A = this chain, B = another copy of it.
Amino acid sequence: MIQTASASVWHASLFGDDELASLFSGVAFLERFGAFEMALTRTLSEHGMIDADLAEKAMAAMRGFAPDADAMAAGMATDGVPVPAYVRQLRAVAGDAAPAIHVGATSQDLIDTATAMALRDASGVLAGRIEAVLSALGDLDTRFGTNMLTGRTRMQVALPMTAGDRLSAWSTPLSSGLDRLARVRDDAAQLQFGGPVGLGPETLGEAGPAVAGAMAAELGLRLPARSWHTDRSAFVAFGNWLSMVTGALGKIGQDVALMAQQGIDEIGLSSGGSSSAMPHKHNPVLAEKLVTLARFNAIQIGGLHQAQVHEQERSGGAWMLEWMILPPMVEAAGRALIDAEAMLRLVKGMGRPG
């Protein structure tokens, strides 16, 4: 599901990220719901916990299933989650095989698992883009690294340094961000299978944990020690990482905007935004936008932290807040990486020959 910031074509062209937004689309979530339910039915059957023929019939029904969009939207509005409407439709097409579907699972299992898969997939995209930004920074270092630059602290001239020194300060948090990504990705890419009140696959009987393990393997996820219906640590940590990367890019954007000031003139960009009133202007729009996106994610991260305060076995209120906050953070980080690389590729000069 869930939010993307692209209703207007203009807004999308400035802040949107189609590739990452698609990972959070309704279509993507429905596909992952299907993968979850099929993995569940298959694994239960393989462990002899449901009748094999019934399971096969249910699997066949699920394979060909295409949910009705209107029924999904109506269910979402009434139930506050898409899963009841989804499972109702699934069971209807499965006929007498319905009892082999959604056994021991609950709405949150499907939605959290689908979100975990989205973050896992987003991680790959984001890692690739960080590499691209680092590569662009490396190219600048090759071209301009030995040029001289005025080191400035607290907005005042401090000491001379090289362009390479500043490029190194820009790239360090991104390099370490790649290392950190591996950890938060592994944390977040975990199966959710807690059942109605989060007691986990154990409630299915002795073979429950094995079922969960097989499901996790099939879905390409980690099996956590316990269900995490009310423990949002992994998503908070992922969001924190998103905002750290966006913040590191915001620092680069801020520096570029400062360096591009006439009178400072320490960077040249081969193009920029035009003005409706002043044809002579070339605005460092991408640099400014990196600051915008950094501050945007620095705002949003607080929402994930507020959403930690779940009541009892599941808070609809806290959970929905996470839905509103997390996907736009992924998009903002992703777009900032795209914009950062684009901006760095526009640099035609940095510092002055020493």
Contact = CB atoms under 8 A, between A and B. Distances in A.
Contact of A247 (B161, B262, B284, B308): B308
B79 A244 contact: no
Interface string A287-314: 1110110111111111101111111111
A119 to B, nearest CB: 16
Contacts of A159: 196-197, 278
Given A11-B3, A105-B277, A296-B325, A153 B313 contact: yes
Interface stretch (A42-50, A52-60, A121-129, A248-256): A248-256
Interface stretch (A138-146, A204-212, A214-222, A316-324): A316-324
Residue among A102, A154, A295 with most chain B CB within 10 A: A154
A11 to B, nearest CB: 4
A326 to B, nearest CB: 12
Contacts of A6: 3, 7
Given A176-B233, A197-B153, A264-B264, A324 B308 contact: no
A351 interface: no
B317 A308 contact: no
18 contacts: A3-B7, A9-B26, A78-B285, A84-B273, A102-B276, A153-B196, A168-B226, A196-B277, A196-B278, A236-B247, A250-B309, A251-B310, A254-B311, A261-B263, A291-B317, A295-B309, A298-B302, A306-B306
Given A155-B283, A230-B251, 19 more contacts: A7-B24, A10-B73, A80-B289, A87-B276, A153-B281, A155-B288, A156-B260, A157-B262, A161-B199, A169-B226, A180-B233, A183-B183, A195-B277, A196-B278, A250-B308, A263-B265, A288-B316, A291-B309, A295-B307
A152 B152 CA distance: 21
Contact of A321 (B243, B263, B296, B315): B296
A21 interface: yes
Contacts of A257: 155, 317
Interface string A84-97: 10110000000000
A303 B312 contact: no
Interface string A259-276: 011111100000101111
